[in-house]
Structure 1
Amino acid sequence: MIIHNIDISEIEEVFKFYKIASDYQKAKKTVVVWPEFDRKLIETEIEESRQFKLTIANEIACIWAITFSDEQIWEEKNSNNAIYIHRIATNPNLRKNNFVAKIVDWAKIYAQQKNIQFIRLDTLGNNEKLIEHYKNAGFQFLGMFDMKNTSNLPSHYHNTPVCLFEIDLFKTKK
């Protein structure tokens, strides 16, 4: 298992993973289905080294993006001392390998190297299985919240409560 930044030459792979995830969400009849993401957003994340992939035997197992501020989603809980994980998408041939736990292990090291206190992520709607999955990966479930302003967020955030999760690395060090 190797974790690397995604290269701009792999951008079509990123969109392929997003399409697979969106199709999976539709098939599972989840409340929220990912839209087609803006290409410029993904290009910027890649250029800023914020898109990652986990590979196994040279095959991409999953991808995700990070940011260091997420004010519209986290509102007053936003912290500049956090890493926010977004859009985890998994290779359907490699599902059931608990890649979220592997991403958490990576994020803990990444955050500790940068003296970042929180690892955070969100999901939308009351997806009980996903909530349990994130809790099992070590996240504290902070609850469901209605966001005040979603105007600059992708469309799947509009009119849907957000579930917030975090790991406080400074608390777990003790």
Structure 2
Amino acid sequence: MAERSRSEGKNLFNMILKATSKDLEQIYKLTKSCAQHLIEQNIFQWNEYYPSQQVLQKDIDLNQIWTIKVENELAGIVVLTEIEDDEYENVKWLTKNKNNLYIHRLAVHPEFQGKGFAQQLMTFAEDFARKNNYKSVRLDTFGENKRNLRFYEKRGYQKLEKIYFPKQSKYPFYCFELVV
């Protein structure tokens, strides 16, 4: 079933739909464009290893990756999952570890950044969590990406503990949670 979301400042409706295998190449290109854009800003959050095509294919296979397109062009993605990553095992979350929605790989193509697409994807995710009776929305973001840190804090997420992904960066990632 398609979900509609209104573009900020525009009268256009953008469709947020589950990704299919035919979207894999576009999704991979989008993540590589985002990784390069971050590196150009000296933000070493994503690299040549992450996210891999295999990770993205698994997201598709598990029906947990959503896309937002503008006139058939991929503008952004977000992964919504119930699967708790091992790195989260020792995090002291605000809610119990039961019935939580996790967000991963929120990405907007550099050409579409600053136009409200990340906001649309997050609003979609939070609405999805409420409609499906999740207790909270959980995520992590790179500690050196100040823009992302402010983005989640402005949306009402509480900044929690640091975790590390050594294959991605020597710097910490911060966990965030929003009780819905």
TM-score with structure 1 length normalisation? 0.81
- Counterpart pick for 1:43 among 53, 57, 75: 57
2:22 paired residue number: 9
C-alpha separation between the residues in 2 aligned to 1:45 and 1:33? Answer: 17
- Counterpart pick for 1:156 among 134, 153, 168: 168
Residues 100 and 137 of structure 1 are in contact (CA less than 8 Å); yes or no, is this contact kept in structure 2? no
1:25-174 equivalences in 2 (<5 Å): 25-36=38-49, 37-77=51-91, 79-142=97-160, 144-147=161-164, 155-156=167-168, 159-169=170-180
Say how many residue pairs are matched: 162
C-alpha separation between the residues in 2 aligned to 1:39 and 1:93? Answer: 21
Residues 76 and 118 of structure 2 are in contact (CA less than 8 Å); yes or no, is this contact kept in structure 1? no
| TM-align CA RMSD | 2.1
**Shift in Å, 1:127:** 2.4
Change beyond 3 A, Cα 1:53–1:131:
same
C-alpha separation between the residues in 2 aligned to 1:42 and 1:59? Answer: 18
Secondary structure of the 2:90 match is helix
Residues 35 and 45 of structure 2 are in contact (CA less than 8 Å); yes or no, is this contact kept in structure 1? no
Secondary structure of the 2:38 match is helix
The residue type paired with residue 168 of structure 2 is H
Secondary structure of the 1:9 match is helix
- Identity across matched positions, percent: 22
Secondary structure of the 2:137 match is strand
Residues 108 and 118 of structure 2 are in contact (CA less than 8 Å); yes or no, is this contact kept in structure 1? no
C-alpha separation between the residues in 2 aligned to 1:53 and 1:121? Answer: 18
Q: Which runs of 5+ in 1 are unaligned?
A: 170-174
2:6 paired residue number: none
Which structure has the highest helix share of the two?
1
Cα deviations across residues 42-87 of structure 1 (Å, max 9, x unaligned)? 2221021111101233322211222212242322346232111111
C-alpha separation between the residues in 1 aligned to 2:48 and 2:78? Answer: 16
Change beyond 3 A, Cα 1:47–1:13:
same
